[in-house]
Amino acid sequence: MSPALSFPAAYPPKQGLYDPANEHDSCGVSFVADLTAVPKHSTVELGLVALECLDHRGATNAEPNTGDGAGILTQIPDRFYREVIADLPPVGYYATGIGFLPPRDRSPDGVVKVKSAIEAIVEDEGLRVVAWREVPVDPSGLGHQALDVMPSFWQLVIASPVHDGTPLAGVDLDRQAYLVRKRIEHEVSATSGHQAYFPSLSARTIVYKGMLTTAQLSTFFPDLADERFESALALVHSRFSTNTFPAWPLAHPYRFIAHNGEINTVKGNRNWM
């Protein structure tokens, strides 16, 4: 048994898989996977439990219900989406992601303009918009700082045109969705006058994240509590930034990773050297 830790930390000696040299501050990351590769809601639940256990790794300020960021990456829960979105193509033949669009209460026409700009990009890249779905959220537990800058949340589903004899799927569709997402980031603000951000846009994975504490994620996005929301993996992250302000897009995970360090300081250190 490891000795009790005092403050300042008196770390246990190196033993088994534990090495005190790996002790670091800030952020928290966890990964859950089902070795049978069968999508289950219990895997998502375990990921959310692991996330809440990382609460001490996440930042808040004087307003304890405004967090620095928390999120989860899972496989696309096809069974769930198929029951809440009509006319979905077969699994793997559609890409989807949750867009952070302008808040409707402060910018009534912003969502319409941004959607129109996004749809033009999707069509220009040879794809089609299958559906838009407004993602249900419960912001009742959020602090004023998070609420003041909260976007609206819209799930976009895209796929190959229905007349395409060889529709894109899997990685091939992901490549095309990547082009769509990058163009959205760089072009939508210029054409619509409003910002749009997609944490992910993929045929394989989906990201739910925000300017939240670890405990707020599962209640803010009711999708995550639905029994039909299934995955064989869950990557979760609790953010503690030491040199940037919190923001909805800056929460982790990202599209493939959840890094656990201040990457932007690496560039600064190299420049100084």
Amino acid identity, residue 134? E
Name the active-site residue from 9, 12, 17, 27: 27
pLDDT of residue 23: 60
Q: What is the mean predicted confidence (pLDDT) over 217-226?
A: 96
The number of C-alpha atoms within 13 Å of 30 and in the hemisphere containing its C-beta is 23
Q: Give the per-residue pLDDT at 181.
A: 96
pLDDT at 8: 41
Q: Return the pLDDT at 164.
A: 74
CA angle 119/123/129 to nearest 5° reads: 55
Average confidence score pLDDT of the chain: 87
Residue 264 to residue 258: CA distance in whole angstroms: 14
19 secondary structure, DSSP code: -
6 pLDDT tier (thresholds 50, 70, 90): very low
Residue 217 scores a pLDDT above 50: yes
Residue 174: half-sphere exposure toward Cβ, Cα within 13 Å:
12
Q: Is residue 223 scored above 90 in pLDDT? A: yes
Catalytic residue flag (residue 27): yes
Rg of the chain over Cα atoms, rounded to whole angstroms, equals 20
